[in-house]
Amino acid sequence: MIIPCIDLMNGVVVQLVQGREKALEAGEASDMLNRFAAFACIQVIDLDAAMDKGSNESIIANLATRRGIRVGGGVRTVEKAQRLTALGVEKVILGTACFNAGGVHHQFLAQLAAAIPPAKILIALDSKKGRIVVQGWRESLKIGAADVIRELEPYCSGFLCTYVDKEGMMQGTDLEWFRKLREMTAHEITAAGGITTYDEVRALLEMKVHAALGMAIYTGRMDLARLAAMEAVH
């Protein structure tokens, strides 16, 4: 599955480089939703919430009434995850709250699983220099995605794995990292971060990994019609 991304900051769609430097603005989220009509699933990330600088929940609520979306960014409580599912969000993405100083935050995840079916949960394994990063990618843990992916399986239906080292840089991604993770779990895996070429997208789809695309679409490096055709084949 090819998943176009809508990243929200201050009420508009943006693209960042490595989650920090804003590279471009792309206008209203509703307009992007229309542009992505050919795709079955859209990923929406609330960057303001992820960075503890606000919320774009009203926009997300509107998008959820129109399309199937998966939403992440600043979802750090069971209550917020419940609120998003109540809005009609198909899957909720959580990252920071799933971890603590010792690794996997089993107490929180057990509470989450009791409140929301794991089928509606995706866990973010965003990684930089081989380590999971949290708190809007500002804090690095001592563990890597491969260390905990199996331990997290009971709490979710899949993983969003962002290769932060190349996020937004248009320099390609690390296919071998995704292949390693794919071999470790039967759960859904969505790859993000640096995916730049059609060959990379094709390679991910062939290894049964979803491709979440942002910068390559917004800069025109990849054509939406061609991507839709690729998705139809796979």
Per-residue pLDDT reduced to its tens digit, 176-226: 999 999 999 999 999 999 999 999 999 999 999 999 999 999 999 999 999
CA distance 155 to 89: 18
3-state secondary structure 75-111: CCCHHHHHHHHHCCCCEEEECHHHEECCEECHHHHHH
Tell me if residue 7 is catalytic.
yes
Tell me if residue 31 is catalytic.
no
Task: Please state the domain extents for the chain.
Answer: 2-233
Residue 167 has pLDDT above 80, yes or no: no
In eight-state DSSP terms, residue 116 is: S
Catalytic residue among 126, 147, 165, 199: 126
pTM of the model as a whole: 0.94
- Topology, domain 2-233: TIM Barrel (3.20.20)
Contact assessment for residue 80 and residue 89, using Cβ atoms and an 8 Å cutoff: no
Residues 41-80, buried b or exposed e (16+ Cβ, 10 A)? bbbbbbbbbbbeeeebbebbeebbeebebbbbbbbbebeb
- Confidence class for position 169, pLDDT limits 50, 70, 90: low
CA atoms within 13 A on the CB side of 32: 29
Residue 170 has what pLDDT? 67
In eight-state DSSP terms, residue 36 is: T
CA distance 198 to 203: 9
Catalytic residue among 7, 147, 174, 199: 7
Please state the length of the chain.
234
